[in-house]
Amino acid sequence: MNQYSPSCSRCAMQNLCFVHGLHANDLNRLDQLLDHKLSFRKGDVLFNAGDTAQSVYAIRSGLIKLYSTQGEQELIHDFYLLGDLVGLEGLANRQHHYTAKVIEDVQVCAVSFDQLDFISQEIPELNTQLLRLMSQNIVKERQHARVLTHKTAEQKMAEFLIEMIEKLRSRGYDYLQFRLGILHRDVANFLNLTPETISRVLAKFNREGLLSWKKKEVKVMNLTKLYAYSQLTQPHLD
């Protein structure tokens, strides 16, 4: 599951990243686009706001936060992990609007915009795929706006955790116990709360036998109750 293969057509993550939906023939063409796999360490920056954008990054492992700054104010827009695509919004203008910083060591596939542009003219399906990803991004941002504005601290926290859980589940990982190396400060920032509030909510979740998150290790004790807090509907387990 975690094995790396250098070509898209044999890539273990094929279903997760943006090539999903392309035909075998097209995948072979896409292979040529891939720079080699790159590694970054915690604290490294994939790109800064204002940088010229040269490629998009498909995350193979690790964790990245995407944020913008205004004055002193840092605002985290999203976290990316295995199977996610970072930096796509820089494509059209060849300029990044955000900073992508590694918070847990990552391996990424870098895909050059130039080549992507070029080949997407020959593979219409890829173009549609890019537009689809952009659309999904917009929908996601708007959903996040709803969370930020209309949910209580407890709902925000529950929803955030469930998003992580569902991502892990969809990728076949253990989702009842896993490492989550994000600072409370960063979660707080993302959800527009304070670290203190995060701490209090987690203490409550723990007290009520819902879930614990200590020393970067999450243990889910009562998933159903967690869903109840989040107001999301719990999917049927297979």
Partner DNA sequence: CGTCTCCTTGACGTTCATCAAGTATTGTGG
Partner DNA sequence: CCACAATACTTGATGAACGTCAAGGAGACG
Q: By the 8 A CB rule, do 229 and 154 touch?
A: yes
Nearer to a second copy, 41 or 132 (CB): 132
Stretch that binds DNA, among 4-12, 13-21, 131-139, 193-201 (CB under 7 A): 193-201
- DSSP character string of 134-156: HHHHHHHHHHHHHHHHH--HHHH
Pick from 214, 224, 236, 238: which binds DNA (CB under 7 A)? 214
Query: Phi and psi for 33 in degrees, rounded to 5?
Result: -75, -25
Tell me if 193 contacts DNA by CB under 7 A. yes
Helix (H, G, I), strand (E, B) or coil at 161: helix
Which token pair is 42? Answer: 């915690």
For a second copy, the binding residues (CB under 8 A) are 68, 70, 73, 75, 77, 89-93, 97-98, 117, 120-121, 124, 127-139, 141-142, 144-146, 148-150, 192
The whole-angstrom separation of Cα 98 and Cα 114 is: 20
**Cβ 169 to a second copy shortest distance, Å:** 23
If one asks whether residue 161 binds DNA (CB under 7 A), the answer comes out as no
Q: Which residues pair with 89 in a beta bridge?
A: none
Task: Give the span between the Cα atoms of 85 and 103, in whole angstroms.
Answer: 16
Q: Which stretch binds DNA (CB under 7 A): 29-37, 160-168, 180-188, 228-236?
A: 180-188
Minimum distance, C-beta of residue 73 to a second copy, in the bound complex (Å): 6
CB of 224 to DNA, least distance (A): 22
